Amino acid sequence: MRDPGTVAPLEARLATRLGDLRLERGWSLDELARRTGISRSTLSRLERGEISPTATLLNTLCAAYERTMSRLLAEVEAEPPQVVRAAAQPVWRDETSGFARRSVSPPHAGLRGEVVEGTLRPGADIAYDGPPVPGVEQHIWVLEGAVDITANDQAYELGAGDCLRFRLWGSSRFRCVGPDPVRYALMVVLP
């Protein structure tokens, strides 16, 4: 069990927000577990800030709460300014899966798009059961390295400079296939 005093402020706010979202819907931990397939004990530990969610767990919860991961993370950040300086761009890391996510242009009231920088270490393989918002538009521009992406049951091999664009209705998977990390820009546009 992690000492609550060691929880990073973003993680603590995320834990609180996850609990708030569940309570806003009037769901018990058992009901959320039934809807997500995540154990009740894991959900409880997430909401208490004892553990950090993996990218896959967070995506599953976002789907249950019908919001993108960026939207959820933006809800625990202060209102973003129009100019987002590099030093102020929140970074979330899932050390277990080898995924780092920088919110370059976070969600903002009145805007439907956002820009995320993703980095996967060599061998990282992340799968998502479905989109948090069905039909979300994504544009993925590979900046460095190589990645295999599967979206809506279609597989794509991408290298530096390549761009993949689609509306996501089904599952997706990101796999770093090169000897070096892959870094990409992800543009997300809500339907």
Looking up tokens 């809800």, which residue turns up?
75
Residue 69 pLDDT: 86
Residue 8 has a pLDDT of: 60
What does the pLDDT look like over 127-176, one tens digit per residue? 999 998 899 999 999 999 999 999 999 999 999 999 999 999 999 999 99
Backbone angles phi, psi at 83, to 5 degrees: -100, 125
HSE-CB of 112 using CA atoms within 13 angstroms: 8
Instruction: Quote the pLDDT of residue 1.
Output: 39
Kindly report the pTM of this predicted structure. Answer: 0.65
| Strand-strand pairing, 163-168 and 146-151 | unpaired
- When pLDDT is averaged across residues 27-38 and rounded to a whole number, the result is 95
- Measuring CA to CA, which residue among 24, 106, 1, 101 is closest to residue 56? 101
pLDDT by residue (tens digit) across 70-80?
A: 888 877 765 55
> What is the average per-residue pLDDT within 109-125?
89
Question: Would you state the torsion angle of the CA atoms of residues 72, 75, 78, 84, taken in this order, to the nearest 10 degrees?
Answer: 40
pLDDT, tens digit (0-9, with 9 covering 90-100), for 162-185: 999 999 999 999 999 989 999 999
Could you give the CA distance from residue 150 to residue 117 in angstroms, rounded to a whole number?
Answer: 18
